[in-house]
Amino acid sequence: MLQHSKRKVFVWLPAFFWMIFIFYLSHQPATESSELSRGVTDVIIYLIEMVITPTKLDIGYFHFLIRKSAHFIAYFILGFLVMFALKGSKVNNVRAVVLTMTICILYAISDEVHQLFIPGRSGELRDVIIDSTGASVGLFVYFSMMKVKHWIIGT
C-alpha cells in the first residue's frame, strides 16, 4: 500500500512542478514577460533568416504568434503531464480525460484571473481557449504515444 502511495506522489510531481512554472511565468510583470517573448522571437527570426532569404516579417504580429504559441505549448505539456499522472494513479481512460480537461481548463481560468493582479497583464478568454486547445492536443499525443508503445512493446 505504501509503495502505491509513493508511486501516486511521484507520478504527480511533473504536473505539479509544471503548474508552478506556468504560475511563475504568469506572475511576471508585462515588461519582463514581453522581454522574454521578444528574446524568443529574435532567436526564431534569426534561425529563419539563416535558412531562407531575409523577408519582411511583421515583427509585431510574429511576436503575438510567439506569445500565443507559448500558451498552447505550456498547456499541451500540462495536459500530457496531468494525463500521465492520472493514468499512473490508475484512473480509467474516460474519467482521466474528463479530469485532465477539467484540471487544465480550471487552471487556465485561474491563471488568467491571476494575471489580472499583475502589473500590465490582463486576463483573456482567448488565452483560456488556446490553453484548453493545447491541453486537448496534449491528451491526443499522450494516447497516440501509448498506442505506439502498445503496438511496439505489446504492453
Chain-centre distance of CA 52, in angstroms? 29
The pLDDT score that the predictor gives to residue 54 is 63
With cell 522571437, the residue in question is 41
Q: Where are the domains of the chain?
A: 2-26+70-149
Residue type, 70: A
Give the pLDDT mean for 71-98: 96
Mean per-residue pLDDT over the chain, rounded: 88
- Dist CA 116 CA 88 (whole Å): 34
CB contact at 8 A, 15 and 83: no
User: pLDDT digit string (tens) for 95-151?
Assistant: 999 999 999 999 999 999 999 999 989 999 999 999 999 999 999 999 999 999 888
- Percentage of residues of the chain with pLDDT beyond 70: 94
CA atoms lying within 13 Å on the CB side of residue 105: 11
